[in-house]
Amino acid sequence: MSREDPDVIDSVEKAFRLLQSFSAERPAMTVSGAAAATGLTRATARRILLTLERLGFAETDGREFRLTPGVLRLGYGYLAALPFWEHAQPHLRALSDELREASSMATLDGGEIVYVVRVPASRSMTITLNVGSRLPAYPTSMGRVLLAALPDAELESYLDRTELERLTSHTITDRAELRAELQRVREQGYAVVDGEREEGVRSAAAPVRGSAGQVLAALNVSANAARVSLSELRTRFVPRLLETAEAITKDIAGLH
Amino acid sequence: MSREDPDVIDSVEKAFRLLQSFSAERPAMTVSGAAAATGLTRATARRILLTLERLGFAETDGREFRLTPGVLRLGYGYLAALPFWEHAQPHLRALSDELREASSMATLDGGEIVYVVRVPASRSMTITLNVGSRLPAYPTSMGRVLLAALPDAELESYLDRTELERLTSHTITDRAELRAELQRVREQGYAVVDGEREEGVRSAAAPVRGSAGQVLAALNVSANAARVSLSELRTRFVPRLLETAEAITKDIAGLH
């Protein structure tokens, strides 16, 4: 690509880097702050911030810049393009209402799962992960469902490049053991994870399929281990989870 | 800004334009398709698509390009930076569960409201507006609350530049009448809109305030007119709406 105007490509990369440097910890930045946060020069940071402002993605009081709600448009094209996105949400809400636990859908992006639909448990007073947030795939039930659906070569390359961190005392960190667990997930058609990412959090996930049978996303239900035993998760949650995944899959097929 | 490397600024603008040209109608585009959709040359469209792919925002099968979940990161910095974002959601869920109607929060961006939190009615089988989606401010209850909070000069400039379209037979399209309604909203501390944007949809909205008393966002409940009378909206929904807005405002203050 260096043949093709590398400066332009470079400036686009810098603009996205700067945009992504805003966060809960850095909701507003001066030109100098943005330069420090991104490693860009003050001149470049200023030029990009003014461009983002002109495009309606940032606003400034003359000193600090903040993002505007305009940036939400940038992810919207992706979500709107998901074939299941609109139709899945009432199903997740019904599942969450019945089981009184949080329900989500996620897709795989590199080695991470990305939440694309999220219905918190109605009683939840601490907000949980939201759309766009990410987790490593290997210790999560949705990640296991999505990894199990990868072609063997892609799965092996994931396993080769991914460090399996011991996040809790339960986390599977042995590649052979994880490979065997993913094989089990393929065979049984769902994944159950018990406190491997976070102590005291259990979850089950199942695949949602496109009309060609390909796995489009994973659907899960998660629960606090103090409220829901592993056997209840398997005997009461998993059957409803599989029915809901099937219903969403049917809705998607109905679109074609 | 023309002194400052206009080419770079221009390329950043083009990259965002191309990114935003993906949609439910255009989930995947070839280089030519992207060029046609954006008015960019094929060479520029190709250069930008390859850059987006390199940055993890797009993927290609060699012919067509699609967005990846990576683009969701772009709006995440904004949402994460909202002081109320995490804390508001359980309150909306509780309000929606109690009233069995959809509840949302929105902020103002130019002349539009942008949804930042959305809890659909549990019975809703048709998906409603989602985070990041936009509506004109003047015919919506949340828009009225946010417009009513503007300094007079900003409100006047909004009224000057905004065409008040007659979206339904109920839409207020007279500037003086809208100004008077916004004054009423300021005085009573909430807005009620009855089918002004969409026939048969009623909603009420109230402001959520920051620790300095400034309006950070609007909270609403909307209902199907066939299910909820205007008097029920005023007597049963509005009091719970105001309590919920107050609870969220208190939570925010508790953060400081």
Residue of B nearest to A94 (CA): B122
Q: Is the pLDDT of residue B141 over 60?
A: yes
Interface predicted TM-score of the whole assembly (ipTM), two decimals: 0.76
The more confidently predicted of residues B239 and A210 is B239
Return the residue matching tokens 């810098």. Answer: A14
Residue B43 forms contact with A (CB below 8 Å): yes
Q: What is the pLDDT of residues A179-223, one digit of tens each?
A: 999 999 999 999 999 999 988 899 999 999 988 888 999 999 999
Q: Which A-chain residues 109-128 have CB contacts (< 8 A) with chain B?
A: 109-110, 114, 116, 120, 122, 124-127
Q: Is the pLDDT of residue B168 over 80?
A: yes
Q: What is the pLDDT of residues A220-246, one digit of tens each?
A: 999 988 899 999 999 999 999 999 999
The more confidently predicted of residues B188 and A115 is B188
SS3 A189: coil
Interchain contact, A127 vs B68, CB within 8 Å: no
C-alpha gyration radius of chain B? 21
Contact residues on chain A for B109, CB-CB shorter than 8 A: 56, 68-70
Mean pLDDT of A48-68: 93
Residue B254 forms contact with A (CB below 8 Å): no
Contact residues on chain A for B80, CB-CB shorter than 8 A: 23-24
pLDDT, residue A40, reads: 95
Closest to A42 in 3D by CA, of A14, A8, A16:
A14
d(CA A105, CA B152): 44
Residue B255 forms contact with A (CB below 8 Å): no
pLDDT, residue B89, reads: 80
Residue A236 forms contact with B (CB below 8 Å): no
The more confidently predicted of residues B151 and B116 is B151
Q: Is the pLDDT of residue A128 over 80?
A: no
Q: Is the pLDDT of residue B248 over 90?
A: yes
Nearest chain B Cα distance for residue A102, angstroms: 12
User: pLDDT category, A2, cuts 50, 70, 90?
Assistant: very low
Return the residue matching tokens 């399209």. Answer: B173
Using CA atoms, how far residue B223 sits from B118, B153, B206, B228, B229, in Å, is 14, 33, 15, 6, 9
Contact residues on chain B for A129, CB-CB shorter than 8 A: none
d(CA A146, CA A115): 12
pLDDT, residue A107, reads: 93
Percentage of chain B beyond pLDDT 90 is: 63
Return the residue matching tokens 């990009």. Answer: A48
pLDDT, residue B8, reads: 64
For testing contact with chain B, the best of A52, A76, A134 (most B CBs within 10 A)? A76
Percentage of chain A beyond pLDDT 90 is: 63
Strand-pair partners of B223 = B202
C-alpha gyration radius of chain A? 21
pLDDT, residue B4, reads: 52
Return the residue matching tokens 């089990």. Answer: A184
Residue of B nearest to A70 (CA): B109
SS3 A130: coil
pLDDT, residue B220, reads: 97
**Contacts of A178 by beta carbon, 8 Å cutoff, 6+ apart:** A138, A159, A164, A172
d(CA B170, CA A54): 35
Interchain contact, A67 vs B47, CB within 8 Å: no
Mean pLDDT of A78-103: 84
Nearest chain A Cα distance for residue B229, angstroms: 25
Closest to B155 in 3D by CA, of B143, B168, B167:
B143
Q: What pTM does this model have?
A: 0.73
Q: What is the pLDDT of residues B74-92, one digit of tens each?
A: 887 788 778 777 778 889 9
Q: Which A-chain residues 175-234 have CB contacts (< 8 A) with chain B?
A: none
How many Cβ atoms are within 10 Å of B125's Cβ, its own excluded? 12
pLDDT, residue B2, reads: 41
Residue B227 is which amino acid? R
pLDDT, residue A129, reads: 55
For testing contact with chain B, the best of A7, A14, A16 (most B CBs within 10 A)? A16
Determine contact, residues A143/A183, Cβ cutoff 8 Å: no
Residue A23 forms contact with B (CB below 8 Å): yes
Mean pLDDT of B227-240: 96
Contact residues on chain B for A122, CB-CB shorter than 8 A: 93-94, 97
